[in-house]
């Protein structure tokens, strides 16, 4: 709770007899007092939190318990998916097959009916696809920029990655004989216990031993 920085001195006045007795026992009084002060601060902050919550509750309207439980249950039961760049590309560039499935998924994510995740790599892969469509003349640069900005508003969650995640991703890549980039999606899907949605049939074929995968055409939501 407390991020301790530089230590400073404080003084405490006690009777002389207490001071004498303190010297006779084997106690690190500095450490003891520091912990006592921290504990007291935590207690007083907790009391203040209770007081503030009580005040907020008095100002708030009433909601039946059944309604609150329903709200919580809706969040818990909301489908979770991991999406890859092959899905997101269809939100920008027209192309069959599975255009309609991609559109439905996009709307479900935007409206909060589906909780979507992607690895950090996703951002660069989507930008790369859009850049290539611009370079090939399919898309204008202004439309590409607008597409990326709009995609950032859909609510796709990008969890932070750590070095131990990369080690696991490397192991998945070696095991499946897929690229590290493909393995990043598999790893996140496994970690989040969420189905991976892709338009890449090769990723599905090789990665099914690691995580649950659905081809976009198989999607039923």
- Taking only the tens place, the pLDDT of each residue in 61-88 is 888 888 888 877 776 678 899 999 999 9
Residue 3: pLDDT band (50, 70, 90) is low
Q: Is the pLDDT of residue 21 over 80?
A: yes
Q: Is the pLDDT of residue 89 over 70?
A: yes
Total residues belonging to the chain = 221
Q: Is the pLDDT of residue 2 over 60?
A: no
Token pair 């097959």 is found at 97
pLDDT at 165: 94
The percentage of the chain sitting over the pLDDT mark of 90, rounded to a whole number, equals 66
First-to-final CA distance of the chain: 42
| In 132-221, beta strands by DSSP E | 195-198, 213-215
Q: Is the pLDDT of residue 120 over 70?
A: yes
Contacts of 211 (CB under 8 A, 6+ apart): 186, 189, 190, 195, 196
Alpha-carbon span 71 to 76, nearest angstrom = 9
- Average pLDDT in the chain: 90
Alpha-carbon span 44 to 3, nearest angstrom = 18
Its pTM stands at 0.68
- Out of 58-72, 80-94, 120-134, 141-155, pick the least confident: 58-72
pLDDT tens per residue, range 157-200: 999 989 999 999 999 999 999 999 999 999 999 999 999 999 99
């Amino acid at each position: 709770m407390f991020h301790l920085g530089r230590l400073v001195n404080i003084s405490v006045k006690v009777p002389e007899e207490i001071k004498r007795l303190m010297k006779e026992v084997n106690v690190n009084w500095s450490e003891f007092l520091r912990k006592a002060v921290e504990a007291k601060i935590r207690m007083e902050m907790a009391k203040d939190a209770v007081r503030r919550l009580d005040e907020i509750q008095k100002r708030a309207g009433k909601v039946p318990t059944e309604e609150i439980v329903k709200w919580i249950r809706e969040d818990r039961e909301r489908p979770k998916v991991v999406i890859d760049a092959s899905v997101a590309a269809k939100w920008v560039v027209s192309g069959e097959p599975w255009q309609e499935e991609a559109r439905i998924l996009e709307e479900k994510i935007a409206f909060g009916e589906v909780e979507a995740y992607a690895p950090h790599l996703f951002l660069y892969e989507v930008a790369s696809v859009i850049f290539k469509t611009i370079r090939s003349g399919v898309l204008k640069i202004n439309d590409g920029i607008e597409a990326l900005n709009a995609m950032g508003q859909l609510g796709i969650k990008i969890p932070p990655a750590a070095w131990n995640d990369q080690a696991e991703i490397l192991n998945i890549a070696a095991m499946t004989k897929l690229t590290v980039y493909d393995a990043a999606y598999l790893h996140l899907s496994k970690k989040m216990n969420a189905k991976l949605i892709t338009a890449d049939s090769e990723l599905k074929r090789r990665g099914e031993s690691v995580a649950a995968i659905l081809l976009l055409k198989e999607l039923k939501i």
